[in-house]
Structure 1
Amino acid sequence: MRRHDAADLAHRLGEHAEAVCRHYLSNGRRSGNYWQVGDVRNASGRSMFVRLRHSPKGPPGKWTDAATGEHGDLLDIIRESMGLLDFKDVADEARAFLAMPQPDAELGLSRGKLAPVPAGSPEASRRLFAMSQPILSTLVESYLRARGITILHGTGSLRFHPRCYYRPEDHGPTETWPAMIAAVTDLGGRQTGAHRTYLNPLGLAPSSNGKAPIDTPRRAMGDLLGHAVRFGVAGSVMAAGEGIETTLSLRCALPEMAMAAALSAAHLGAILFPPTLRRLYVIRDNDPAGDGARDTLAERAREAGIEAIVLSPELEDFNDDLLHFGLDALRAAIAEQLMRRDRLRYLKRAA
């Protein structure tokens, strides 16, 4: 990446400095015009200061760790807090973050107590996401890795809530469970809803696949139709599927391809297309509902002048394929289904 491109990314992040800190340095807190935290890797403490506003000392986003003498900008915070090595991954994560809603600006988190909003509304979904934390070193990361999903860069649309409310369908008492919170966004990056996957705090029990032992461990809220949980920034090519885990499993084989999870077969058939899209890979689940979503979405894409290509798993879905056959076998199977130009573009660095 050219130097001025990195500088531009850092400047754009600086315009949302407090939101960046809330997202990647969740163990810290605001103190005046600074965010204080233990270190750049999000440890608890108060020795590191991140500037949140323009001042005579410099632009927002610059930080200094008084204990170590380290200093840097918000790109360094993303790199260290997420454990990224390749600067391309840092840049992709930064672009994905900039495409998301910024909680401090939209929700007024620093302005005191918020007025109530209707349960299940888009506003409630934004607040839930804002109250959650990055997935690094949380039960969400453990859950995904246990499902064979190890490519986690660019997953800023996923967060962790340690005690998310759950209301049983039989009107029993409200419970709390740890949960993976996914932001559902429109094509402009505005959050319209959220998806909750309630998790088993004991880990990946064989009977639950890591999900909480409750009747409905997956629930959605807000405005979902046409929207999706997004991984990466879509250009001329993207893939779209139903579930988060299924979509992330394919992304392990194609880590540079932008993808979107619509959360259900019905919503996959109705997903909206980015204006830049020219080729859509439809991630099919191997069941009757998946066949219907495949046909509906492919037909809509072709009517919009977008080439539609179906990617089919050997088992029920691509997470099953990943777990049963392994990543190398999944890549080989996917290679046979991709356009040649996309095989060269997206598989060359994953191989």
Structure 2
Amino acid sequence: MLSISELADRLALNAVAFCRHYLSAGRRAGNYWIVGDARNKEGRSLYVHLTGPRAGRWTDAATGEYGDLLDLIRETCGLLDFRDVAQEARRFLSMSQPQMASSENIDVCERRLANRPAAERARRLFAMTQPLAGTLAERYLRDRGLLQATAHTALGFHPSCYYRDLATGSTEAYPALIAAVTDPSGTVTGIHRTWLDPSGGKAKVADPRRALGGLLGNAVRFRFPPDEPVPVLAAAEGLETVLSLLEVMPGMPAVAALTANHLAAFCPPAGCLRLYIAGDADAAGRQAIKRLSRRAQALGILPLVLAPELGDFNEDLRWLGAGRLKTNLRAQLVPGDAMNFLTP
């Protein structure tokens, strides 16, 4: 049986065929395969090395994620269990699919995929941030109608955050809003950066928002009580969606998964009884709602979808006002939750 490194190497030797199979929406550009993302969307954010010593290595410029082709199978196919990743890799290589030798082997393999240096870099960067109050990040969020952001310890401000243009290789530094991505135990596994323009809005760069570190199964968490069950939870894709909901439901525990794919893969905490899902209205968002709803139901959790009146909940907050947003949410929440979480 091939070891995990040998399996990854065998995939790398077949990188072109791999990309044609799993990333058919992309195209070859010299020694790279270019595609939109790991869900096989059209675009140019994700690139895979096809030749040379880095063959089989990939990077998503939009999220900062990277890995080998085993990681890409996991992301592309939405797989959580490494047994399924290895099985799919063997299927692609037209190999037999033997059982893994032991649970110890599986644990080692999963750690290999999960324990990336990026997670440590993310922890160091978040430790360097300062509270939002009085910063450019607070001003940016207030301009988005988000007035309570300084209350959230998952958010910080970095006055000079490194930014690299992946197309040109040039580097600069911009102020940035930093959000901590954590696992269920509260350990920081990644970060989400929004680079800012000192004159207002996001920085004028190709990718003003990027994630770094381990996002799969984790999220930016708000209002999670330490060492206590979370019977009611709101989950959404974007930071601003969650922060908009918290403007009128300040006591509601909530998570931002940051992408539709990661929202679909989010695992609600033990003790959760009701999960409110505020997904985006595009095709990827609708698919994420379906997948997360199925996972919640399998765990005995009631999934409930929250829908905005306009394009998203931040637009509702900014253009319709907090009062109208509360009225809309009151009609969608379980009555007891509306009483407990909506502000008067």
Match of residue 132 from structure 2:
135
Q: Letter of the 2:330 partner, please give it.
A: A
Report the secondary structure of 1:324's partner residue: helix
Q: Letter of the 2:332 partner, please give it.
A: Q
Matches within 5 A, 1:189-338: 189-203=186-200, 210-233=201-224, 235-338=230-333
After TM superposition, the structure 1 stretch with the greater mean CA deviation from structure 2, 281-290 or 219-228, is 281-290
- Is 2:154 the counterpart of 1:165? no
Q: Letter of the 1:332 partner, please give it.
A: T
Q: Answer yes or no: is the 8 Å Cα contact 1:286–1:315 preserved in 2.
A: no
Cα distance in 1 for partners of 2:276, 2:178 equals: 25
Match of residue 183 from structure 1:
180
Shift of residue 284, structure 1, vs aligned partner: 1.9
Match of residue 26 from structure 1:
none
Q: Deviations for 1:197-225, whole angstroms, at most 9, x for unmatched residues?
A: 1111111xxxxxx1111110000111110
Cα distance in 2 for partners of 1:256, 1:169 equals: 40
Specify every segment of 5 or more residues in structure 2 that has no aligned partner in the other structure, as ranges.
1-114
- Is 2:337 the counterpart of 1:342? yes
Q: Deviations for 1:179-213, whole angstroms, at most 9, x for unmatched residues?
A: 0011100000001001101111111xxxxxx1111
Q: 1:126 aligns with which of 112, 123, 126?
A: 123
Runs in 1 of length 4+ with deviation above 3 angstroms? none
Shift of residue 120, structure 1, vs aligned partner: 6.2
Q: Deviations for 1:256-290, whole angstroms, at most 9, x for unmatched residues?
A: 10110000111000012111211100012121111
Q: Deviations for 1:277-326, whole angstroms, at most 9, x for unmatched residues?
A: 11100012121111111111111100110010000112221111111101
Match of residue 156 from structure 1:
153
Q: Deviations for 1:119-155, whole angstroms, at most 9, x for unmatched residues?
A: 9610000000011111111011111111001123541
Q: Answer yes or no: is the 8 Å Cα contact 1:287–1:316 preserved in 2.
A: no
From the superposition, tell whether residues 150 and 120 of structure 1 become closer, same or farther in structure 2 (CA, over 3 Å): farther
> TM-score, normalising length from structure 1?
0.63
Q: Answer yes or no: is the 8 Å Cα contact 2:138–2:150 preserved in 1.
A: no
Report the secondary structure of 1:150's partner residue: coil
> TM-score, normalising length from structure 2?
0.64
Q: Answer yes or no: is the 8 Å Cα contact 1:154–1:231 preserved in 2.
A: no
Shift of residue 243, structure 1, vs aligned partner: 0.7
Match of residue 114 from structure 1:
none
Q: Letter of the 2:205 partner, please give it.
A: I
Report the secondary structure of 1:121's partner residue: helix
Q: Aligned residues, how many?
A: 226
Cα distance in 2 for partners of 1:147, 1:175 equals: 25
Q: Letter of the 1:213 partner, please give it.
A: K
Shift of residue 165, structure 1, vs aligned partner: 0.4
Report the secondary structure of 2:149's partner residue: coil
Report the secondary structure of 2:281's partner residue: coil
Q: C-alpha root-mean-square deviation of aligned residues, in Å?
A: 1.4
Specify every segment of 5 or more residues in structure 1 that has no aligned partner in the other structure, as ranges.
1-117, 204-209
Between the two proteins, what is the percent identity of the paired residues? 48
Report the secondary structure of 2:176's partner residue: strand
Cα distance in 2 for partners of 1:260, 1:269 equals: 12
Shift of residue 172, structure 1, vs aligned partner: 3.0
Cα distance in 1 for partners of 2:305, 2:333 equals: 9
Q: Answer yes or no: is the 8 Å Cα contact 2:119–2:213 preserved in 1.
A: yes
Cα distance in 2 for partners of 1:119, 1:133 equals: 25
Q: Letter of the 1:129 partner, please give it.
A: F
